[in-house]
Amino acid sequence: MIELRQVSKEYPNGTKGLNKINLTIGQGEFIAVVGLSGAGKSTLLRSINRLHDITEGDIIINGKSITKSHGKALRMIRRDIGMIFQSFNLVKRSTVLRNVLAGRVGYHSTLRSILGRFPAADVDLAFGALERVGIADKAYIRADQLSGGQQQRVAIARVLAQEAKIILADEPVASLDPLTTKQVMDDLKRINQELGITTIVNLHFIDLAREYATRIIGLRAGEVVFDGPVSDATNER
């Protein structure tokens, strides 16, 4: 469902973030991308969602090239892809519910999204998503009143409300303590298993990758240096 063909990303200053990457990722996989800081993990996720343009190659999502899509076609592909960031990227002063409803923006006209009034069906979806991550009781609380782990759960609920088929999580637990890390990783894993959402998680620690992923992709200097099932992953990082 996700295919990268000879993908390179060179930043304007000449740094090669990715160098001729080839990957095929199937529906429902739970993949950990590991590598030292600067290896290209973030560049990889940002390329898949086309948060930036790649400089070479092609990325195919469910049979359609996101690299060559524009306008409505691009928005339709992106609607299927949910992003989760280390810093949660919530609207801090908005309620939890409003933050989760933001996942529905791609389904409505721009005007409706600006006005921020969503149909009742969306509110139902948002509550269903909040229930799935166990924080429905926090719906009317301001996002910045929650703990880090709870805020990351709001971000997970947002991609669930989006009805994303792919989750790209860029170091989602990097700013969380060990216990909260486990809770958030458990949530991501459970959602992957229950809903079959293809999940790619950038992780700094190989131990977490081994514990949760079914496939590990190791990056070094923008190149894939390991790609295989967890059982084949050595202690190398």
Q: For residue 95, state whether it binds ligand ADP (rule: CB under 6 A).
A: yes
Structure-token pair, residue 47? 């390329």
Indicate the burial class of 8 (C-beta count within 10 angstroms; 0-12, 13-18, 19 or more): middle
Q: Rule CB under 6 A: which of 29-58 touch ligand ADP?
A: 35, 37-43
Contacts with ligand ADP in 121-180 (CB under 6 A)?
123, 140
Identity of the residue, 73 or 115, whose beta carbon is nearer to ligand ADP in the bound complex:
115
Sites for ligand ADP among residues 192-211 (CB under 6 A): none
Q: How far apart are CA 176 and CA 110, in angstroms?
A: 34
Instruction: Tell me which of 6, 15, 24, 145 binds ligand ADP, using CB under 6 A.
Output: 15
Distance in angstroms (rounded) separating the CA atoms of residues 78 and 84: 14
Give the residue with the Cβ less far from ligand ADP, 111 or 179.
Answer: 111
Dihedral sign for Cα 193, 180, 34, 3, please: positive
CB of 175 to ligand ADP, least distance (A): 15
Applying CB under 6 A, does 101 fall inside the site for ligand ADP?
Answer: yes
| Total residues in contact with ligand ADP, by rule CB under 6 A | 21
Nearby residues of 209 by Cβ (< 8 Å), 6 or more positions away: 32, 34, 201, 203, 216, 230, 233
Nearer Cβ to ligand ADP (72/93): 93
165: nearest Cα among 187, 196, 200, 188:
196
Q: Is 114 helix (H, G, I), strand (E, B) or coil?
A: helix
User: Near ligand ADP by CB under 6 A, which window of 60-68, 110-118, 161-169, 175-183?
Assistant: 110-118
The tokens describing 122, both together, are 């969306």
Give the residues lining the site for ligand ADP (CB under 6 A): 11, 13, 15, 17, 35, 37-43, 95, 97-98, 101, 116-118, 123, 140
